[in-house]
Amino acid sequence: MEHKETSQEITVADFDGTVLASYSKWGDFPDTYGNLKASLKIIGNEGFMAYGSRGFLFYDFEGVLQSLEKHVDSQYQGVTRIGLGIGMEGLEDGYLYRNTVGGDKLPNGAEDYAALRPLVFLNPQTGETKPLLHFPESSIFLRGRYFFRNAWDPAFTIADHLIYVAFGLEPVIYSYEATPPYSFVSSIPLDLPDYNPAEGEKEYTPNVRFFGQARTSGKILNIKMVNDFFIIAYFPGFNAADREASFSNKSPEGASNFWNGMREKYPHRMAIFDASGNRLSDFESKRLIGSSMVLRNGELWMQEKPDEEVERDYFRLFRVGLKVNELKNNED
């Protein structure tokens, strides 16, 4: 999908890159999805589902609406991050997704954090949504501190009848059973080199230093499991000196130079762990966007980074594999 100022263009292509169809379902159309709440989801070989403000809509690949199941409850219409690697995953007869309901309100105190449900189960057959999973007792979010908005935004995947999830800045993979009541199973700490997450504040402070941590804190961006290995995409976060420097007064040119320097100093990285949590490799993904990882038919796909020097009218997707025999030598 291509997001434009006045349209959202849906393009259907085959695995050779040949465009088969292109159309829009956003705006004043009788079969519109309204405001899109998640990335489009391909359903088998028949078509795709759009999870929008109107409900769950199923289209064939030519764009003809096949069915619409409206939401049972009113849906919060806040800002939703949409893109490759930020989507729902199949769970039983529905889908697992980030819980976007109530995202306009920050937790206020320990009880609010304990009540948070960062994930939601979507049932496209009935239009129902069901919030899932609490933070485990050992989570940093249950230690009586305050965090910036979406500090706990979950990165998740489903494999081996388990839900694996990392809650935002917390460098831990938690596992839960993938069937009701979705009981907590175990935790796997992630030893990430030079990882600098925000530690939270003792009191809520509505100032730039509190909310600005969203830009400087380390954060887990995506996780996938392939051949019993965890693949982690993450932002390492600023060290203490650079974090402090980010809040200093700068001229427009100085601010631009500072943030350009920080992007070079702190690139997004990828790490590979075995199922026990032993780090086997850690590297900068120079050609591919780590956060774009998706699994389709058991295969791992990622999007190529755009060339900042050359504007192109296309983008490329890569099917990616692991050099398993080389991982123990710390090679990527």
Q: For residues 94 and 297, give the distance between their C-alpha atoms in angstroms, rounded to a whole number.
A: 17
Phi/psi at 254 (5° precision): -65, -40
Tokens representing residue 2 in the block: 């291509």
Task: Please return the burial class of 15, using the count of CB atoms within 10 Å of its CB with bins 0-12, 13-18 and 19+.
Answer: exposed
Per-residue pLDDT of 158-216, as tens digits, reads 999 999 999 999 999 999 999 999 999 999 999 999 999 999 998 887 888 888 999 99
Q: For residues 39 and 301, give the distance between their C-alpha atoms in angstroms, rounded to a whole number.
A: 15
Parallel/antiparallel/unpaired status of strands 119-123 and 172-177: unpaired
Beta bridge partners of 248: none
Per-residue pLDDT of the chain in tens (332 residues, 90 and over written 9): 777 777 789 999 999 999 999 999 998 889 999 989 999 999 988 899 999 999 999 999 999 999 999 999 876 655 677 889 999 999 999 999 999 775 556 787 788 999 999 999 999 999 999 999 999 999 999 999 999 988 999 999 999 999 999 999 999 999 999 999 999 999 999 999 999 999 999 888 788 888 899 999 999 999 999 989 999 999 999 999 999 999 999 999 999 999 999 999 999 999 999 999 999 999 998 899 999 999 998 899 999 998 888 888 888 999 998 876 655 555 44
The whole model's pTM is what? 0.91
Contact 327, 272 (CB under 8 A): yes
Distances (CA, A) of 149 to 47, 81, 165, 169: 35, 13, 18, 11
Q: For residues 290 and 207, give the distance between their C-alpha atoms in angstroms, rounded to a whole number.
A: 31
**Spatial CA neighbour of 56 closest among 126, 140, 132, 143:** 126
